[in-house]
Structure 1
């Protein structure tokens, strides 16, 4: 199975801190968290993920989305993705211009991992459904604003991220 490449939107340092506090709160509660996912893991919103991305996809992302940065987004509700074990995410409300640009980008990429686009920040993966109430209690219900400032490219084969 091919590893999935991605183009992602990353918040400024203050926004990263907002997300990392939630990662830390989950970890402190003994729950799964994305806190310890490795040196390349930074809070982000995936714009497009596919088995392969080329230079043309990077250029198109910069052309369509780079001109919209920086932009403010609202990290709001919590959603669960998956089956018996779920991925816990914060849903991100984005400006209409950004949503249109991302959908235009995704339309040009073959074999996109998921149809459509659900902007979100991942907090944890593989959480047992029985642990979801505890995770919700830990996270609370406050909304937060993130200032998205950078587009980056994740290359899983080289295990590097690069700013576009």
Structure 2
């Protein structure tokens, strides 16, 4: 399945993204909001994802996040796709040097393929709002969201997600 390393968001930014999830759900549109809340499901920025992660990388990852206080901006709404008549709706994460350096260090430690989506110059940082949005619903999705202000965010923590065990833990 999937092993990933993610940046979590400060409480205010987390709440703002969840409000956007809720607006989509209330409109009956695709959303990342879950019907049954899950403590492991929350807004995040994926720094690396792959089928496996070796134990040495797992042991060294917390050192990359020690003392983290990373500021960044969550910007415009973007669409990934279309693919098979659907798009993924995301919020852009505006990249700064610190964020790029952290992602590169994580991807290198985790053994990301240079040609893959987490390789140097290939990563597109974002926060997902909805997956599998039919292209015919893009207008309705944008209407449901209304104005989407930029968000000044801070991350003080990373987490690991192990989809095999369905567990997350703080780094």
TM-score by length of 2: 0.85
In 2: Cα distance, 1:132 partner to 1:101 partner: 33
The answer to whether the 8 A contact 2:70-2:155 is kept is yes
Deviating more after overlay: 31-40 vs 145-154: 31-40
Match of 1:156 in 2: 163
Alignment gaps of 5+ in structure 1: none
Q: 1:111 deviation in Å?
A: 5.2
In 2: Cα distance, 1:98 partner to 1:56 partner: 23
Q: 1:71 deviation in Å?
A: 1.8
The answer to whether the 8 A contact 1:60-1:105 is kept is no
Alpha carbon RMSD of aligned pairs, Å?
1.9
Q: Any runs of at least 4 consecutive aligned residues in structure 1 with deviations exceeding 4 A, and if so which?
A: none
In 1: Cα distance, 2:29 partner to 2:66 partner: 35
The answer to whether the 8 A contact 1:50-1:110 is kept is no
Equivalent position SS for 1:36: coil
Counting only pairs closer than 5 Å after superposition, residues 112-127 of structure 1 correspond to structure 2 as 114=117, 115=119, 116-127=122-133
- For each residue in 1:131-158, what CA deviation from the matched residue of structure 2 results, as whole angstroms up to 9, or x when unmatched? 1111112222311122212110000111
In 1: Cα distance, 2:134 partner to 2:128 partner: 15
The answer to whether the 8 A contact 1:71-1:147 is kept is yes
Alignment gaps of 5+ in structure 2: none
Deviating more after overlay: 108-117 vs 149-158: 108-117
The answer to whether the 8 A contact 1:19-1:43 is kept is yes
In 2: Cα distance, 1:131 partner to 1:19 partner: 20
Q: 1:95 deviation in Å?
A: 2.5
2:33 pairs with one of 32, 35, 45: 35
1:61 corresponds to 2:85:
no
TM-score by length of 1: 0.88
In 2: Cα distance, 1:54 partner to 1:24 partner: 36
